[in-house]
């Protein structure tokens, strides 16, 4: 397999108008992807393209469209829709390829491109490597009579809205519940409130006024304070905080307390297991999920399988073994019975179904276990630097592991989307936790450039 340098853990990502997110680079990426998915040279191949609300989305969408049509692909433009809608519609519309233009929870200056295969699942590392190889080589373009067409799909959002409602039990309604939904000024700014309202809830909307520059700006799953304040001010029963492309969620209970993806996965796993729905009694999560989640599941005779960070690796493990529930602490919740990727809105609906069925408050369901103290710090490093290979950093890591000595976990990794070293540790003793994380952080900072 060729080495992947253009693709990270979740597609291609970077600052807009800076490589690889320039119009020229995206044009060539579109040409390469079109050639990869149109290998037989025949016409009739289709690609759907969705995007979030970033200003640069217009530029990226046009460059991708030009590249794809130049190889004979017919492009169906979905407009602003959540990432999971692209996965769903790629498969539903019998497309050969799906593309989501988004940098997820990042600020508006960044943008990214995620690819989905005809089955609606994100591409494998091997497929991405082959596309990279095509980017670097000579790309055969279509003959003039075989250039593709581009068409706008006006009802794409409503197709997703209607499908999403089918994942909520038909016998239940949200009548009597007051719900704050924070759409991060992103891709779900219309779809999420529509779904909740159509299911009967009283909806308080925030983060629903995108202007191209305010996506994830003090709103959304990475900045839940706005939702916390809205829940308290309106006396709401629940707050649902999505990120810019709505594939992740964090919840805010009626007291204003935030619950992350680990707590939501614990609830869903226990409920699905009790109903005989949890395949092989197994939940799939990443190495970042809290030790408390693992202990919670073990105490109920359930298993936790860990993967590398990235919801695509969670999905790959789920598909390989036939498991149907997984996700990340950050809020990607993957329910294979319903979706091919993380879907924040669908996950929020599953939590609401639990509230309606049990009659319990959000605070009773959103704290399934006491998390083991966990500390995560990020260190930014300069281009070309490789801090983790430096002897001083390696020595600091070894010393930190010796300090924990089996009484906690230490995880050091490079971010797949930003030039960051992530230093995470878990330990019952907060003083030890601070000490081991700070010692590694200081060593990395000393060589970060």
Active site residues: 104
Contact 410, 402 (CB under 8 A): no
CA distance 289 to 287: 6
Q: Which residues contact 414 (CB under 8 A, 6 or more apart)?
A: 388, 420, 421, 422
Give which of 49, 44, 45, 23 is closest to 36, Cα–Cα. 45
Strand 333-335 relative to strand 408-414, pairing: unpaired
Residue 130 is encoded by which pair of tokens?
């082959």
If you search the block for the tokens 């038909």, which residue do you land on? 170
In three-state form (DSSP H/G/I as H, E/B as E, the rest C), the secondary structure along 146-206 is: HCCCEEECCCHHHHHHHHHHCCCCCCCCCCCCEEEEECCCCCCCCHHHHHHHHCCCEEEEE
CA distance 77 to 275: 40
Contact 417, 309 (CB under 8 A): no
Degrees, nearest 5: CA angle 345-350-351: 95
Q: Which residues contact 276 (CB under 8 A, 6 or more apart)?
A: none
If you search the block for the tokens 């006024």, which residue do you land on? 209
């Amino acid at each position: 397999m060729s080495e992947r340098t253009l693709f990270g853990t979740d597609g291609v990502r970077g600052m807009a108008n800076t490589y690889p997110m320039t119009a020229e680079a995206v044009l060539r990426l579109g040409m390469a992807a079109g050639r990869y998915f149109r290998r037989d040279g025949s016409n009739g191949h289709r690609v759907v393209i969705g995007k979030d609300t970033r200003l640069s989305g217009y530029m990226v969408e046009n460059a991708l469209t030009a590249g794809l049509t130049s190889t004979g692909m017919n492009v169906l433009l979905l407009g602003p829709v959540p990432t999971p809608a692209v996965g769903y519609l790629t498969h539903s519309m019998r497309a050969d390829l799906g593309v989501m233009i988004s940098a997820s929870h990042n600020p508006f200056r960044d943008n990214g491109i995620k690819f989905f295969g005809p089955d609606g699942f994100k591409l494998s590392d091997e497929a991405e490597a082959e596309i990279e190889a095509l980017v670097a080589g000579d790309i055969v373009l279509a003959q003039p009579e075989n250039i593709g067409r581009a068409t706008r799909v006006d009802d794409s959002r409503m197709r997703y809205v209607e499908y999403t409602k089918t994942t909520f039990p038909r016998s239940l309604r949200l009548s009597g519940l007051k719900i704050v939904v924070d759409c991060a000024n992103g891709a779900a700014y219309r779809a999420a409130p529509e779904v909740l309202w159509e299911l009967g809830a009283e909806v308080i909307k925030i983060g629903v006024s995108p202007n191209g520059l305010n996506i994830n700006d003090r709103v959304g799953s990475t900045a839940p304070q706005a939702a916390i304040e809205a829940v308290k001010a309106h006396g709401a029963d629940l707050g649902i905080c999505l990120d810019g492309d709505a594939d992740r969620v964090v919840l805010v209970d009626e007291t204003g307390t935030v619950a992350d993806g680990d707590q939501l996965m614990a609830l869903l796993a226990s409920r699905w297991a009790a109903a005989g729905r949890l395949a092989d009694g197994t939940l799939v999560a990443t190495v970042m999920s809290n030790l408390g989640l693992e202990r919670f599941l073990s105490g109920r005779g359930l298993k936790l399988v860990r993967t590398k960070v990235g919801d695509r690796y969670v999905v790959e493990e789920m598909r390989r073994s036939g498991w149907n529930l997984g996700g990340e602490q950050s809020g990607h919740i993957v329910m294979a019975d319903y979706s091919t990727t993380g879907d924040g809105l669908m996950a929020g609906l599953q939590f609401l179904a639990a509230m309606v069925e049990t009659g319990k408050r959000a605070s009773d369901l959103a704290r399934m276990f006491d998390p083991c103290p966990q500390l995560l710090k990020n260190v930014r490093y300069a281009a070309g630097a490789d801090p983790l290979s430096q002897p001083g950093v390696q020595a600091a890591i070894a010393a930190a592991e010796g300090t924990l000595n089996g009484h906690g976990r230490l995880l050091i990794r490079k971010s797949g989307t930003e030039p960051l070293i992530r230093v995470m540790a878990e330990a019952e003793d907060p003083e030890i936790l601070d000490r081991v994380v700070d010692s590694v952080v200081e060593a990395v900072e000393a060589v970060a450039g």
